[in-house]
Amino acid sequence: MSQDSGEKLVKLTIDGREVQARSGDTVLEVARQMGIEIPALCYHPVLGGAGACRVCMVEIVAWGRRRMVASCVYPAREGLEVYTNTQKVLTARRAVISMLLAKAPAAKAVQELAERYGVTEPAYEPKDPQGRCILCGQCVRTCNELIKAGAVYFTYRGQERKVGTPYDAESAQCIGCGACQNLCPTGNIRIRDKAECRAVLTWNTDLAWQMCSRCGQRYLPARLVEHLRKSLPAGAELLEVCPRCRREGTAEDFARASVTAEQSSKL
């Protein structure tokens, strides 16, 4: 068996419908392209799946064996049969959702899933009625793999596992980019923009603003500007000004340029 290149095409069936897919795609992605809805919380198109939340379980038949797999990480393969809606799948999905409902009762995405699948009771009395984190790890992957800031990570293990900064203290690595908030499926990450700083409340971190060198207004956390400067050295000077001034500045430059052009053509 060779490592999937993603280029090869394979034929498989999902809920009885035949489909052609790239072998590098996951069953979840193929199903979604076909309009078959499989719930998934730890999957994001940019990051892929983590196989962690387990609500995307489906039944497959491969090499003559029928079993349950997590569709967000299971690769499309030639001849694969996938069943996304069997009684077994629904029972398993409900069991997992009821556990998530106990872990994160305040998470809207979990509440919606519970409603859709008719789960009325959490699997146990929730310890934190305000809990929103399901430990899917999307913030960790975003911060480490996409942004490469490395501010948050998993801490402890098992029951004690959390996501957070070391000692839950203010992070020197968080750049306040807010990407984790964008990708979090359960709305667990809270960020508040105040006059003096951007407060990333979930990570206990306050970030001072960068002031626009032109208009003097705050526009981005200074650390984020610094991070961008390092990763985009070419346009570094553009980062000195806020987006509005940048637009205005470009417009002015443009106007100035056209005036100059007009003048030179008159000569």
Partner 1 sequence: MSTVATAKLASLEELEALRSSIRVEQQKTQTTVALCCGTGCQAYGSGRLIEVFAEALAKEGLEDSVRVRATGCHGFCERGPLVVIHPKGTFYQRVGPDDVGEIVAKTVKQGELIERLLYVDPQTKEKAQTEEQVGFYKHQHRLVFGNNGAIDPKSIRDYLAVGGYAGLAKALSELKPDELIEQITESGLRGRGGGGFLTGRKWRSCREAEGEPKYVLCNGDEGDPGAFMDRSIMEGNPHSVLEGMVIGAYAIGSNHGYIYVRAEYPLAVENLGIAIRQAEELGLLGEDILGTGFDFEIRINRGAGAFVCGESTALMASIEGKIGDPRAKYIHTTDVGLFGKPSNLNNVETWANVPLIVNRGAEWFSSMGTEKSKGTKVFSLVGKINNTGLVEVPMGVSLRDIIYKVGGGIPDGRKFKAVQIGGPSGGCIPESLLDTPVDFEQLTELGAMMGSGGLIVMDEDTCVVDIARYFMNFLCEEACGKCTPCREGTKIMLDILGRICQGKGEAEDMDKLEALGEQVQLTSLCGLGTSAANPVLSTLQYFREEYETHVKDKRCPAGVCRQLITFSVTPEACTSCAMCVKACPVEAISGGTRKGKGKDRVRVPALIDQDKCIKCRACHEACKFDAVVIS
Partner 2 sequence: MPGEKSASVEEIDVSAARKIAAGHRAQGNSLVTVLQDVQTEYGYLSGEVLEAVAEEMEVPFSQAYGLATFYSSFSLQPRGKHHICVCMGTACHVRGAANILEKLERDLGISSGETSEDLKHSLESVNCLGACALGPVVVVNDAYHGKVSSRDVDKIVADLE
Residues making contact with partner 1 (CB under 8 A): 1-4, 50-55, 57, 68-70, 73-75, 88, 91-92, 95-96, 99-100, 102-103, 123-124, 134-135, 137, 154, 156-161
Q: Which amino acid is at 241?
A: V
HSE value, Cβ hemisphere, 13 Å, CA-based, for 199: 8
* C-beta of 122 vs 221, nearer to partner 1: 122
Binding partner of 189, given partner 1, partner 2, none, CB within 5-8 angstroms per partner class: none
**How many CB atoms are located within 10 Å of the residue 46 CB?**
12
Among residues 59, 40, 61, the alpha carbon closest in space to that of 51 is found at 40
* C-beta of 138 vs 165, nearer to partner 2: 165
What is the closest distance, in whole angstroms, from the C-beta atom of residue 157 to partner 2 in the complex? Answer: 5
What is the closest distance, in whole angstroms, from the C-beta atom of residue 161 to partner 1 in the complex? Answer: 3
Label the pairing between strands 81-83 and 205-211.
Answer: unpaired
Q: How far is CA 247 from CA 202, 226, 254, in A?
A: 33, 20, 10
* C-beta of 69 vs 220, nearer to partner 1: 69
Q: How far is CA 196 from CA 180, 206, 207, 239, in A?
A: 22, 9, 9, 20
Binding partner of 63, given partner 2, partner 1, none, CB within 5-8 angstroms per partner class: none
* C-beta of 67 vs 157, nearer to partner 2: 157
Binding partner of 100, given partner 1, partner 2, none, CB within 5-8 angstroms per partner class: partner 1
* Helix, strand, or coil (residue 27): helix
What is the closest distance, in whole angstroms, from the C-beta atom of residue 179 to partner 2 in the complex? Answer: 15
* C-beta of 38 vs 149, nearer to partner 2: 149
Binding partner of 169, given partner 2, partner 1, none, CB within 5-8 angstroms per partner class: partner 2
Among residues 107, 152, 108, the alpha carbon closest in space to that of 133 is found at 107
What is the closest distance, in whole angstroms, from the C-beta atom of residue 72 to partner 2 in the complex? Answer: 23
What is the closest distance, in whole angstroms, from the C-beta atom of residue 231 to partner 2 in the complex? Answer: 16
Among residues 217, 218, 201, 200, the alpha carbon closest in space to that of 209 is found at 218
Give kind and range of the element (H or E) at residue 219. Answer: strand 218-221
* C-beta of 66 vs 194, nearer to partner 1: 66
What is the closest distance, in whole angstroms, from the C-beta atom of residue 245 to partner 1 in the complex? Answer: 43
* Helix, strand, or coil (residue 130): coil
What is the closest distance, in whole angstroms, from the C-beta atom of residue 175 to partner 2 in the complex? Answer: 12
Among residues 61, 58, 81, 88, the alpha carbon closest in space to that of 70 is found at 58
* C-beta of 125 vs 196, nearer to partner 1: 125
Binding partner of 254, given partner 2, partner 1, none, CB within 5-8 angstroms per partner class: none
Among residues 173, 40, 17, 45, the alpha carbon closest in space to that of 97 is found at 40
